[in-house]
Amino acid sequence: MRHALVVDDARAVRRIISGILQKLDYEVLEAENGRAALDLLTGLDFVPELALLDWNMPEMDGLEALRHIRAEPRWASMVILMVTTETEVERICLALEAGANEYIMKPFTPEILVERIAMAGAVV
């Protein structure tokens, strides 16, 4: 079974992304912010193949979570996509420099999400 982690403070967005990923045969884990995502990852005995992080979240934003994940060698294989309303080129560059494999701007269609997951190197 393939696993994906969806991190977004908006429950509706988590549900939409989770539904798309479940159709791609991913078992989906969800977290409402970066801190909750790191706590969840730390407690797992496996590494999700894929993570989708929102940027703007309370407690710990997606960029900070991304940096923490990329600093942990055991999570190095995870494909990470930023999924956010942040559209400034500087922000996109920051995320990619921090280790994001791909960047998706909200709003998006299911087709765009699947395409970007594939472009990032995850199985679709």
User: What local confidence, expressed as pLDDT, does residue 53 receive?
Assistant: 98
- Spell out the domain ranges in the chain: 2-12+24-85+100-116
Average pLDDT, the chain: 96
**pLDDT, tens digit (0-9, with 9 covering 90-100), for 8-43:** 999 999 999 999 999 999 999 999 999 999 999 999
Q: What pLDDT score was predicted for residue 106?
A: 93
Distance between CA atoms of residues 24 and 69, nearest Å: 24
Phi and psi for 9 in degrees, rounded to 5? -75, -15
| Rounded average pLDDT over 112-123 | 94
Whole-model pTM over 0.75? yes
14-47 per-residue burial string, b: 16 or more CB within 10 A, e: under 16: bebbbebbeebebebbbbbbbbbbbeebeeeeee
Half-sphere exposure of 109 (CA within 13 A, CB side): 3
**CATH fold of the domain at 2-12+24-85+100-116:** Rossmann fold (3.40.50)
Q: Is pLDDT above 90 for 95?
A: yes
123: which DSSP letter? -
Residue 87 has pLDDT above 90, yes or no: no
Residues 56-84, mean pLDDT to the nearest whole number? 96
pLDDT for the residue 123: 86
Displacement of CA 8 from its chain's centroid (Å) = 9
For the cut 90, the answer to whether the pLDDT of residue 67 exceeds it is yes
Q: What is the pLDDT of residues 98-107, one digit of tens each?
A: 999 999 999 9
